């Protein structure tokens, strides 16, 4: 009976494979091998599944549709997540009779293979994404708990798809719902058909509606199952987690920066740290703790942060006498000491910076990199003798922030000044780099450089004797309050980079940001390849790796022998490595290598003559191309509007808008109120943009000129009709 | 009347100056200038003082001795600190009659100048250290509140010293008591006698009892007022704060790392980070927060930290449902994810590191760098397939920790294994670098590299399928728990470096650690020097700076025109810059520069031919010399003892001891108990060494050989007489 089932199943699997096997790759041999294992016993590597049947709370009037959870043995299939994912109430384990009535088997024998076109209507399936990801055969019970057969996870789903049963794929490890019964594909990326699928990449992106289709080809097993154009925030989560950038943490709003993303942060640090040091900024470290009385010293300032401050009230078992805050930012932490340290104008400018983490306990929907309760950043805090010195620095820092985006992340930003409504709490004026996310049409604040004026120095009494003071000048003129700046750039930059460049195959990393710029994948190994040939190829790959490494390229040779080239191609595409080199025996003969660009998929043969030089050039070009493409997307979505009627349609069309504005705060508030349109449901709420109305992003330094130039007294505010002062960039934003 | 007082005072000051003016420097002209200002009005720069008179709670039977607080206007003279410093009860403002009875003036007119030899017994003085530090004339009331005269702060103290009144110098900014009526010197470092005082430095260190005397010469105004040999912990605080390494923070146990010390941390990071990356370690960042349930997962481990864990219980005004801990270390933060990420033996070794801060809320006496509630460190966490791979890494890391001490900080350490009593809570075995502080004769743990064995992997279920498992092997043998290591090095290294190398002139920085290796001080400017000559000197100094900088030396030219060379010499000595170059017109003529080594004070003329090369050689030599000197001090204080009688005397003589030991935990405990001796009052309590008994520092890898070699079964434990297993290094320790 068991072997009978096994054979039935074997037949089914084979049939399935044939029906879905696209392309020229012949994967029969592997399948034969797998079926052998069913007879011989356990395969060399495998994973086991569990099948659980639930019954949701259902009105008496209706017959309950059972829920079959099909998951890997060690997946945490928590029922509240299932309820949420399937939108059902209180799922409980189903009674034996209910299971038998629906599936005709005892609960113990229940298995996905027990579902047929006939009983498909009486049950829906919660399917573990990890089964699709499984790189090894998956064991299931063929409707008999005493028998286990091993097949490819994807084929279990293929079978279910064919029955027409409702399937929801859930990634239990992420506690987030992914695919809702959309992709009925069976991946093939495990097969050695990398060359073919790679060559497919040359074709330009398909239209949106086909995106899911596109993800079928090999992507589903390990790859992105959501289309950027369809479910942006789900796509963003997948790109980050499957691209190995980040993992979710068991405390909400906190995330783990894995080496793949932290390495990008290290590059950002190198770029910025060396520059600020060249102008005399020194690094230091202040405590993460701040006492309540010091924190609250500057009222406007603390108002901005108070609701988000995390408080330490206990140590061990002891309650602390005074509650201690964790810094949301360090102005009030540092400035009492500036008052102590700055004794004379000769101590100016004082320029300190720290690379640290700060905590802002937001209660809004968190977003990896964009809104997190703890985040890494640098905060610079400087003191100057006068305004010109402070102002000069504010602008220099802003230029370097733009440089981080342009030179490291290939991201274009627009520089400008924040309006009074949007400037830093307690500051004098705020300058900003504003980015743009084409997929959502929203603006995003990239980094800010603030001039605090003398506000904090008055609050904290940071003064020097004015060196210009002379005998006879009024006594009070002698005391000079210093001018201060503060400026910060956070790991948010990584999120912006990902949102802009990545695609439905995964991450796309700009060459300057990538830790691995070039990956070498040995190809062309077949059953007929001899040991000697394999060794020759490995040696050649290692030589090439050394050549490139000596040439200053961050290179990695992927010599994992357990994975096929096709699998490796997908793997490195998912991780966004800029250039993939495919290197096989034929290439060695021709003294060439095949290079594939991650951003375009374009593929070309490159001679091994000056290969390092050749690839350096391509990396430089690729970085520039990525920047240009993003810049074009930005520029083409900055809509200069002349009348109010154009505003909401422009916003709805994913533009940010440039409009002549009167500079009145009241008018700015009304713009936000009156520009609410079709709310983009993809977008998370943003505590700093309570509505999807357009807020002012900045007053760009680069103002329209020529016929669009503001004519004082003539050009009117597009919203209120008063005299316009300048163009302001408005947009829905993060 | 005012001018009369002024003249009286002028006379006094002049007299004082003459009586204390040592050496050939003539400082009359400057004094004349200052007295001029008294007649003309305010000097260009000055500070004002306040005089407060308190009366302590005194038994009826006794007559109260009043307390006169003499402090800079803006010093925070809090009375509880005063009570503590002077060991008096409840000081309150004294009634007018009490003040007049004691000093013969109204409270408003009270001033240090009102104290005379006659009334000195009826009052004691709490004197603000900042007055001694003041670089500008200090204004006081000459027993008349409507008149202010300006004199040098040191001269106020000199005057008080002469009256015989009891004086306690207090550093209000540090909230710590310094000098107890010990140094009666008046500093002269503001005078241009740098050459002379510098030449004095060539003479070897004076014996201990002369240390205070030694500090007279110029040190007191800005320098160290305590001798390392006399008040070690007071000296340590002064060296750190006055050497610009660190400042105290308003939350106890937290300190500010100023650029001068943070820069050293950056060098340590460069050294270690490049090495671990070379072996495939990757940096990452995990959240600082950890939930209670995860934190408490490994019992032995958490037991070690529970009393020191800081808890976040509130955000804004909201109480958090679950209390959240701030990591004291990250084992339990990271390992649940290791369990998730490590799916196959191919994922091993997994090697992650983070540079972060951790919090251990100790309630014991804090010590800058050595015991702080938040500290910076790196923590490496790795997972391996087997013991040999884990063990190899543990030792490699330990070697690099030794390298940090030797190559960056010129500090010798002894490598070894911790005993069972002292190993890491929850670990398998712990290796350590143990340092030695000659001034206190105590050992100090430098850094530890732990093998955790499989303990945590069993707790967190971090397993892979054993690649060696074969068909037919027992099923349970298939599951392999990974082997783990964790290793950490903290900013404590900076404290160890300071304690070992610094002296009574301040910091002494090893060339490899110093941010500024060479400072150039222009000299030889006199009243007769022309503008042209000044400019020529400045240009020459800048040329020299460029030459050295191009030669790869971290150099700084001190061109501050408001300070004399003598002042600069003291300033850079205080900050510990390895080599000072004195460069004047005569040197230019001779195409030479005078180089002074900070560690020895040795001074020599060096030709400008290949000056960069020449100095590089000297910096290398100096680093090696500092290391050798510290090593000799360590080696000569490791006492190999044969009998128990020698132990306590050896410890009291500031040795650590090497003794044959039976390895029994009970015996080790008794050693600690029985080795308590004359308690070193200088030393702070240490939560991990509750008594000053000797605890085991390590079982050195380098065991005595030859005649001292352990003969199994023959050599006996020095303490209990059982068979000795090996030599263990015991010592009183931090």
Which of B41, B247, B311 is closest, CB to CB, to A314?
Answer: B311
Instruction: Kindly report the three-state secondary structure assignment for every residue of A516-580.
Output: CCEEEEECCCCCCCCHHHHHHHHHHHHHHHHHHHHCCCCEEECCCCCCCHHHHHHHHHHHCCCEE
Burial of A539 (0-12, 13-18, 19+ CB in 10 A): exposed
Closest chain B residue to A373 measured between Cα atoms?
Answer: B287
Residue from A344, A243, A332, A245 nearest A571 by CA: A243
Question: Do the bridges between strand B555-557 and strand B483-490 make them parallel or antiparallel, or are there none, so unpaired?
Answer: unpaired
Q: Is the pLDDT of residue B680 over 60?
A: no
Contacts of B306 in chain A (CB under 8 A): 316
Q: Distance between CA A27 and CA A187 in Å, rounded?
A: 12
What is the rounded average pLDDT of the residues A576-594? 96
Q: Do A323 and B308 touch (CB under 8 A)?
A: no
Long-range contacts from A589-598, C-beta under 8 angstroms, 24+ separation: A593/A520, A593/A544, A596/A198, A596/A201, A597/A622, A598/A508, A598/A509, A598/A572, A598/A573
Three-state DSSP class for residue A490: strand
Is the pLDDT reported for residue B205 higher than 70? no
pLDDT at B81 over 70: yes
Contacts of A25 (CB under 8 A, 6+ apart): A188, A191, A192, A193, A196
Structural tokens at position B583: 């460069």
CA dihedral A199, A200, A202, A207 (to 10 degrees): -170
pLDDT at residue B578 in the model: 98
- Please tell me the predicted confidence (pLDDT) of residue B25: 32
Q: How many whole angstroms separate alpha carbon A546 and alpha carbon A544?
A: 5
Check if A286 contacts B (Cβ < 8 Å): yes
Task: Provide the 10 A C-beta neighbour count for residue A707.
Answer: 5
Q: Give the dihedral of Cα atoms A119, A123, A126, A129; nearest 10 deg.
A: 10
Burial B493-510, CB ≥16 within 10 A → b, else e: bbbbbbbbbbbbbbbbbb
Mean pLDDT confidence for A215-223: 43
Number of helical (H) and strand (E) elements in chain B, helices listed first = 23, 31
Mode of pairing for the β-strands spanning A350-359 and A483-490? unpaired
Give the pLDDT confidence of B307-317 residue by residue, as tens digits: 899 999 999 99
Tens-place pLDDT, residues B459-488:
999 999 999 999 899 988 899 999 999 999
User: Closest by alpha carbon to B648, among B691, B700, B595?
Assistant: B691
- Nearest Cα residue in chain A from B256: A286
Choice among A551-555, B19-23, B93-97 with the minimum mean pLDDT: B19-23
The whole-chain average pLDDT of chain B stands at 84
Does any CB of chain B come closer than 8 Å to the CB of residue A310? yes
Residue holding tokens 């191309």?
A: A625
Name the residue facing B262 among A285, A287, A376 (closest C-beta): A285
pLDDT at B121: 87
CB atoms B250 and A336 under 8 Å: yes
Q: Which CATH architecture has domain B1-170?
A: Alpha-Beta Complex (3.90)
Q: Which residues of B fall within a CB distance of 8 Å from A173? A: 340
The residue-averaged pLDDT of A445-465 equals 96
Measured between CA atoms, how close is A136 to chain B, in angstroms? 11
Identify the closest residue of chain A to B359 by CA–CA distance.
A288
What mean pLDDT is predicted for residues A639-666? 95
Flag whether residue A451 sits within 8 Å of chain B, measured between CB atoms.
no
* Residue A167 pLDDT greater than 90, yes or no: no
Q: What is the pLDDT of residue A144?
A: 54
SS3 state at B647: helix
On the question of pLDDT at A535 being above 70, the answer is yes
Residue B49, pLDDT score: 80
Which of A251, A256, A265 lies nearest to residue B291, judging by beta carbons? A251
Q: Is A642-731 a domain of CATH 3.40.50.20?
A: no
How are beta strands B695-700 and B656-661 bridged, if at all? Answer: unpaired
Q: Please check whether residue A572 is in contact with residue A580, taking contact to mean a CB–CB distance below 8 angstroms.
A: yes
d(CA B655, CA B418): 19
Q: Is the pLDDT of residue A520 over 60?
A: yes
According to DSSP H, which parts of A183-258 are helical? Answer: 194-200, 211-216, 219-222, 232-242
Is the pLDDT confidence value at A549 over 60? yes
* Integer Cα distance of A708 and B80 in angstroms: 69
Shortest distance, CA B318 to any CA of chain A (angstroms):
9
Q: For residues B150 and B157, what is the distance between their CA atoms, to the nearest angstrom?
A: 14
Q: Which of A457-461, A528-532, A676-680 has the lowest mean pLDDT?
A: A676-680
Label residue B524 left, alpha or beta by phi (over 0 means left) and psi (-120 to 50 means alpha): left
Local confidence band at A15 (pLDDT 50, 70, 90 cut-offs)? very low
Query: Residue B652: helix, strand or coil by DSSP?
Result: helix
In chain A, which residues have their Cβ closer than 8 Å to the Cβ of B349? Answer: none
Closest-CA distance of chain A to residue B511, Å: 19
Whether the CB-CB separation of A480 and A466 falls below 8 Å is answered with yes
Nearest in space to A298 (alpha carbons), one of A488, A425, A122, A127: A425
For residue A475, the model assigns a pLDDT of 87
Cα–Cα distance measured from residue A517 to residue A552, given in angstroms and rounded to the nearest whole number: 10
Q: A363 contacts in B (CB within 8 Å)?
A: 315, 318
With CB atoms and an 8 Å threshold, state whether B340 touches A173.
yes
Q: Which range has the worst mean pLDDT, B94-108, B114-128, B170-184?
A: B170-184
ipTM score of complex: 0.73
Which of A259, A284, A314 lies nearest to residue B313, judging by beta carbons? A314
Question: 3-state class of A712 per DSSP?
Answer: coil
Asked if A429 has any chain B CB less than 8 Å from its own CB, the reply is no
The span from the CA of B498 to the CA of B502, in Å, is 5
Residues of A in contact with B310 (CB under 8 A): 312, 314-315
Q: Give the rounded percent of residues in chain A with a pLDDT score beyond 70.
A: 83
Beta-carbon separation of A262 and B250 below 8 A? no
| pLDDT value for B61 | 73
A308: closest CA of chain B, how far (Å): 5
**Count of CB atoms within 10 A of residue B226's CB?**
23
Q: Which residue has the higher pLDDT, B300 or A556?
A: A556
pTM: 0.74
- Contacts A–B by Cβ distance under 8 A: 149
Contacts of B336 in chain A (CB under 8 A): 250
What is the pLDDT confidence band of residue A136, given thresholds at 50, 70 and 90? low
Distance, CA of B672 to CA of B695 (rounded, Å): 5
Res. B37: pLDDT tops 50: no
How far apart CA B361 and CA A316 sit, in angstroms, is: 8
Asked if pLDDT for residue B71 goes beyond 90, the answer is no
Smallest Cβ–Cβ distance between B284 and the set A258, A308, A465 belongs to: A258
Is A643 part of the contact surface with chain B (CB cutoff 8 Å)?
Answer: no
* pLDDT confidence bin for A143, thresholds 50/70/90: low
CB A608 within 8 A of CB A592: yes
Nearest CA in chain A to B248: A337
- Exposed e or buried b per residue across B81-90, where buried means at least 16 C-beta atoms within 10 angstroms of its C-beta: bbbebbebee
- Residue A273 parent element (H or E): helix A259-278
pLDDT at B444 over 50: yes
B278 in reach of chain A (CB within 8 A): no
pLDDT, tens digit, 9 for 90 and up, residues B329-367? 999 999 999 999 999 999 999 999 999 999 999 888 899
Question: Which residues in A lie closer than 8 A to residue B465 (C-beta atoms)?
Answer: 45
- In this predicted structure, the answer to whether residue B19 has a pLDDT above a threshold of 60 is no
Contacts of A254 in chain B (CB under 8 A): 287, 289
CB-based contact B465 A45, cutoff 8 Å: yes
Return the domain boundaries, chain A: 1-170, 240-283+328-501, 518-632, 642-731
Q: Tokens 């810059």 identify what position?
A: B577
Shortest Cα distance from B68 to chain A (angstroms)? 24
The length of chain B, given as a count of residues: 734
* Pick among B276, B281, B285 to test the A interface (most A CBs inside 10 A): B285
Q: Rounded to whole angstroms, how far apart are CA atoms A323 and B314?
A: 10
B337/A247 touch (CB, cutoff 8 Å), yes or no: yes
Look at residue B281 and give its three-state secondary structure: coil
**Range in A316-320, A545-549, A615-619, B92-96 the model is least confident about:** B92-96
Distance from CA of A286 to the nearest CA of B (A): 5
pLDDT digit string, tens, across residues B524-574: 988 888 999 999 999 999 999 999 999 999 999 999 988 899 999 999 999
Q: Does domain B240-283+328-501 have CATH number 3.40.50.300?
A: no
The CB density around residue A213, as the number of other CB atoms within 10 Å, is 14
Fold equal for A518-632 and A642-731 = no
- pLDDT class for A303, splitting at 50, 70, 90? confident
* Stretch (H or E) spanning B131: helix B129-133
Range 38-57 of B in CB contact (< 8 A) with A: 41, 45
CA-to-CA separations, B143 to A520, B484, B492, in angstroms, rounded: 86, 73, 49
Reported as a single tens digit per residue, the pLDDT across B619-650 is 999 999 999 999 999 999 999 999 999 999 99
Contact A408/B at CB under 8 A = no
Q: Is the pLDDT of residue A194 over 80?
A: no
- Of the candidates A568, A567, A541, A573, the residue with the CA atom closest to the CA atom of residue A555: A541
Place of tokens 């210009």: A468
Topology at the third CATH level for domain A518-632: Rossmann fold (3.40.50)
* Residue B583: closest CA among B622, B534, B616, B620: B534
Return the higher-pLDDT residue of B711 and B172: B711
**Paired strand residues for A125:** A68, A167
């Amino acid at each position: 009976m068991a072997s009978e089932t096994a054979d039935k199943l074997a037949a089914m699997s084979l049939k399935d494979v044939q029906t879905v096997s696209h392309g020229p790759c012949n994967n029969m041999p592997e399948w034969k091998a797998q079926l052998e294992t069913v007879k011989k016993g356990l395969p060399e590597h495998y994973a086991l599944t569990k099948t659980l049947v639930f019954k949701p709370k259902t009105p008496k009037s209706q017959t309950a549709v059972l829920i079959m959870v099909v998951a890997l043995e060690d997946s945490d299939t928590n029922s509240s997540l299932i309820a949420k994912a399937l939108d059902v109430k209180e799922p409980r384990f189903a009674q034996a009779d209910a299971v038998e009535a629906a599936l005709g088997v005892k609960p113990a024998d229940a298995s996905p293979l027990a579902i047929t076109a006939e009983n498909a209507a009486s049950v829906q399936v919660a399917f573990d994404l990890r089964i699709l990801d499984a790189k090894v055969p998956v064991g299931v019970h063929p409707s008999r708990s005493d028998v286990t057969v091993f097949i490819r996870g994807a084929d279990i789903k293929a079978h279910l798809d064919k029955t027409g049963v409702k399937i929801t794929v859930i990634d239990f490890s992420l506690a987030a719902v992914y695919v809702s019964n959309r992709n009925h594909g069976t991946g093939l990326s495990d097969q050695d058909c990398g060359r073919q699928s790679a060559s497919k990449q040359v074709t330009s992106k398909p239209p949106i509606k086909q995106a899911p289709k596109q993800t079928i080809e090999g992507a589903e097993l390990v790859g992105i199952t959501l289309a950027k154009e369809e479910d942006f925030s789900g796509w963003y989560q997948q790109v980050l987690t499957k691209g190995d950038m980040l993992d979710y943490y068991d405390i909400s709003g906190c995330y783990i920066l894995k080496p793949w993303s932290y390495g990008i942060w290290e590059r950002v640090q190198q770029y910025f740290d060396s520059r600020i040091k060249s102008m005399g900024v020194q690094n230091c470290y202040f405590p993460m703790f701040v006492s309540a009385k010091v924190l609250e010293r500057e009222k406007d300032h603390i108002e901005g942060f108070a609701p988000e401050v995390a408080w330490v009230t206990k140590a061990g078992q002891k309650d602390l006498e005074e509650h201690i805050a964790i810094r949301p930012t360090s102005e009030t932490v540092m400035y009492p000491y500036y008052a102590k340290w700055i004794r004379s104008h000769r101590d100016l400018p004082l320029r300190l910076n720290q690379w640290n983490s700060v905590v802002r306990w937001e209660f809004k929907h968190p977003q990896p990199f964009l809104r997190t309760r703890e985040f890494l950043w640098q905060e610079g805090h400087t003191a100057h003798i006068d305004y010109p010195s402070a102002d000069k620095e504010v602008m220099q820092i802003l230029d370097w922030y733009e440089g981080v985006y342009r030179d490291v992340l290939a991201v274009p930003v627009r520089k400008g000044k924040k309006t009074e409504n949007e400037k830093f709490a307690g500051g004098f004026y705020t300058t900003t780099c504003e980015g743009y996310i084409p997929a959502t049409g929203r603006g995003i604040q990239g980094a800010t450089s603030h001039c605090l004026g003398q506000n904090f120095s008055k609050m904290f009494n940071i003064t020097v004797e004015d060196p210009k003071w002379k005998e006879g000048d009024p006594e009070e003129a002698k005391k000079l309050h210093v001018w201060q700046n503060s400026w910060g750039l956070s790991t948010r930059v990584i999120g912006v980079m990902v949102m802009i460049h990545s695609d439905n195959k995964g991450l796309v990393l700009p060459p300057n940001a990538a830790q691995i710029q070039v990956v070498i994948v040995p190809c062309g190994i077949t059953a007929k390849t001899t040991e000697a040939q394999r060794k020759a190829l490995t040696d050649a790959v290692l030589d090439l790796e050394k050549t490139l490494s000596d040439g200053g390229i961050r290179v990695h040779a992927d010599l994992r022998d357990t994975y096929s080239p096709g699998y490796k191609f997908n793997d490195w595409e998912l991780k966004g490595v800029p250039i993939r080199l495919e290197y096989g025996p034929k290439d060695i003969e021709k003294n060439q290598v095949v290079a594939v660009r991650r951003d375009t998929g374009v593929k070309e043969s490159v001679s091994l003559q000056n290969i390092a030089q050749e690839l350096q050039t391509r990396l430089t070009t690729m970085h520039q191309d990525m920047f240009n493409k993003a810049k074009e997307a930005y520029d083409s979505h900055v809509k200069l509007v002349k009348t109010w009627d154009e505003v909401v349609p422009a916003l709805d069309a994913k533009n940010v808008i440039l409009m002549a504005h009167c500079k009145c705060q009241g008018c700015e508030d009304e713009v936000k109120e009156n520009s609410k349109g079709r709310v983009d449901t993809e977008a998370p709420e943003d505590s700093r943009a309570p509505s999807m109305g357009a807020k002012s992003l900045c007053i760009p330094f680069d103002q329209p000129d020529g016929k669009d130039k503001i004519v004082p007294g003539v050009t009117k505010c597009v919203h209120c009709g008063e005299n316009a002062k300048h163009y302001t960039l408005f947009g829905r934003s993060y």
